Structure 1
Amino acid sequence: MIPYTFIYPKEVKNSTESDADKQLSIITSNVLTPNRNADALIALIKKHQPNVLVTLESDLWWEEQLNVLETDMPYSVKCPLDNLYGMHVFSRLPIAEQEICYLVEKDVPSIHTTIELRSGDKVRVHFLHPAPPSPTENTESAERDAELMIVARSVADSEQPVIVTGDLNDVAWSATTRLFHKISGLLDPRVGRGVFNTFHVDYPLVRWPLDHLFHSKHFTLQKIKRLPSIGSDHFPLLTQLSFTALRCNNQAAIKADTAEHKWSQEISEQQNVSKGDVPKPGETS
């Protein structure tokens, strides 16, 4: 946990970018399906004015409530489900490409998009909510781990700006999340800044950082903040980035060694997920 304290060097530099056209702010919010306090989330969106909102556990009821956001956030990807894995994306910025995928489990979706900044720069964004270990669902974490590794390996060699965000159902310092961090080559803006625990709202003394945002070296950080409760068991997470591709190449991600690359491949293969190719929006073959 030491990297997630103020005594550790920051992995992502503070932003000095003042051009609003190069900024991208995202609110990640696991709304909790039976929660019916949509007004609280809508109020947060109006207050913080993010470019992008992604909701996890959102069903058709949540979709109907959040449709009011489309006046200001006219671009959307909607996947309402009543199995705790529904997902919605609302955006002020154009979504150039989009795809809903089921990478590992047939009822657990992920959303893959290209979002175009006002500057014209395009960012590949992956929204995830893999299933957690559970006595009634997945008795081990194999399915979750496989989805994380599939996405990590898919973005590892990309030269395109990349963001991966969502409820990963794992803490930042776990072996699996650290392996994702290394294999993907993405940066974690929490390193050197704090853990930003988002779960569980009702237990102040026992909270964990389950909601994450990782990004490529093309970005620096303006702000990361845990937002007030909306009645869910998760707090929303606000992350505001600046696209500073030409000035931040000296930001270095932690590296995976040969054994870790082999381990990540084995995790994927154990779930027999050769079919689980992650879309690479904005990239040509």
Structure 2
Amino acid sequence: MMEVYQDILFYLGIFVVVASLVPLIRHDFWIFRVFEYPRLQKLTLNFLILLLYTLCFPIATARDYILLMLLLLNLIYLCWQIFPFTVLASKQVIQSTLPVGQRNIQLLIANVFQDNRKYADYHQLIKKCSPDVILMVETNQWWQDKMDSLGSEYPYQIKIPLENTYGMLLYSKLELLDGSVKYLVEDDIPSIETEVKLPSGELLKLFCLHPRPPVPQENPQSTERDKEILLVAKKAKESRYPSIVIGDLNDVAWSYTTELFSKISELLDPRKGRGFFNSFNAKYFFLRFPLDHVFCSADFTLTSISRMNSCGSDHFPMCINLQYDPKAIAQNDIPTADQDDKELFREKVNAETD
């Protein structure tokens, strides 16, 4: 019986190693992309298998030594991968040192889960978080009807209620200028672009996204998602204003597409050096990934970032406070694209979509 258990653990260990290497194959088919998501889960399983195999079974054959060597190397590789999102790493966006003032903007991002009916919980959350700008996604007409009472406090609005789980509602206390709805890649997947006037009178550019994920029931390829994300990267890089990109990108913070997005846009991830802030799945503790994002240009500092309590959705809302500070450019860690990155960018934005 012990041999059976040892065989099970052996093949499970091989699976974890293979699952860690599959994302290195840069193919758009979903099976290659889905293994990018559970990086922390793979690290945990890898460590447990290595520990159990060493403690519970005799290490006697070449197969045993090969497995342990592979698991050890994979453990080191996975630790290296997650390190930028631990508190031991340097912060990509420096902490604000100035008091909260007219250059601050508080953002709330919430994927509400279209069939969720706990709208009152979101009203309570908004009172608690007191954001300047609210982005809600997976919102249909029912959700708009339930949230439009925010209008007295949030008079600036861009609303695209849809029944396909890709609706968006944007409510703002701050004035929105030149706001527009874009369909960058797919005719039924909107995004929002708008300028936001800070209390100081300065303008920033805000991009709101919720592309379709690469899963069999939605889209077996990541081509459309990657293309939309990277087109926004180009827009943010070319913007004459400080830029912020927010939304449920249906991609993890460490995927090669997100990293390419960051290099092309030169936008920063406030989570780096602070933690994972896993926002999905709120219902399953071990299956959580950072899918809800905020990226900002290098002329911002971070005042606060929090994952808020779930309001009945499968996503946790994210609340973040950024402070515009042009002096931060000299201190923030700005990603840059090399020639290979630029070629990959061109390949992806020119890819044929269905």
Query: Could you tell me the TM-score, scaled by structure 2's length?
Result: 0.75
CA deviation after TM superposition for structure 1 residue 19, in Å: 4.5
Counterpart-to-counterpart distance in 2, 1:271 and 1:238:
36
User: 1:59 — aligned with what?
Assistant: 140
1:204 aligns to 2:282 (yes or no):
no
Deviates more, 1:150-159 or 1:160-169: 150-159
Partner amino acid, structure 2, of 1:177: T
Larger-Rg structure = 2
Shift of 1:246: 3.4
Q: Could you tell me which residue of structure 1 aligns to residue 88 of structure 2?
A: 7
Q: Residue 173 of structure 2 aligns with which residue?
A: 92
For 1:218, the equivalent position in structure 2 comes to: 299
Matched, 1:256 2:323: no
In the TM superposition, 1:107-118 aligns within 5 A as 107-118=188-199
Residue 11 of structure 1 contacts residue 253 of structure 1 at CA under 8 Å; is this kept in 2?
yes
SS at match of 1:169: coil
Cα offset, 1:250, TM superposition: 2.7
With 246-255 and 175-184 compared, the bigger mean Cα shift is at 246-255
Write out aligned runs for 1:103-142 (5 A).
103-142=184-223
Alpha carbons of 1:19 and 1:210: their partners in 2 closer, same or farther (altered >3 Å)?
Answer: closer
- 1-structure distance, mates of 2:270, 2:328: 17
Q: Tell me which residue corresponds to 2:123.
A: 42
3-state secondary structure, aligned to 1:156: helix
Q: What percentage of aligned pairs have identical amino acids?
A: 41
Residues 146-185 of structure 1 show CA distances to partners (whole Å, capped at 9, x for unaligned) of 0011111122243420000100001101111111111110
Indicate the SS of the match to 1:264.
helix
Match of 2:156 in 1: 75
Structure 1 residue 144 and structure 2 residue 221: aligned? no
Other-structure match for 1:279? none
Cα deviations by residue, 1:14-36 (Å, 9 ceiling, x for unpaired):
00122521110100000000001
On the 8 A contact 2:301/2:328 being kept in 1, the answer is: no
**How far does residue 251 in structure 1 lie from its aligned partner after superposition?**
1.4
- Residues of 2 paired with 1:265 and 1:216: CA distance? 22
Which 10-residue stretch deviates more, 256-265 or 132-141? 132-141
1:241 equivalent to 2:322? Answer yes
Q: Report if aligned partners of 1:114, 1:124 keep a CA contact under 8 Å in 2.
A: yes
Task: Give the CA deviation at 1:247.
Answer: 4.4
Instruction: Pick the structure with more strand per residue.
Output: 1
Q: Which runs of 5+ in 2 are unaligned?
A: 1-81
Corresponding position of 1:278? none
RMSD across aligned positions (CA): 1.3
Q: Establish whether residue 228 from structure 1 lines up as the match of residue 309 from structure 2.
A: yes
More helix by share: 2
1:31 is matched with which residue?
112
| Structure 2 residue matching 1:221: 3-state secondary structure | strand
In the alignment, structure 1 segments of 5+ residues that lack a partner are 274-285
- Contact 1:220-1:248 at 8 Å conserved across structures: no
Correspondent of 2:244 among 163, 188, 208: 163
Does residue 1:16 correspond to 2:97, yes or no? yes
Contact 1:146 1:271 in 2 (8 A): no
TM superposition score normalised by structure 1: 0.93
- How many residue pairs get aligned? The number is 273
* Match in the other structure for 1:187: 268
- Inter-partner Cα distance in structure 1 for 2:111 and 2:213: 14
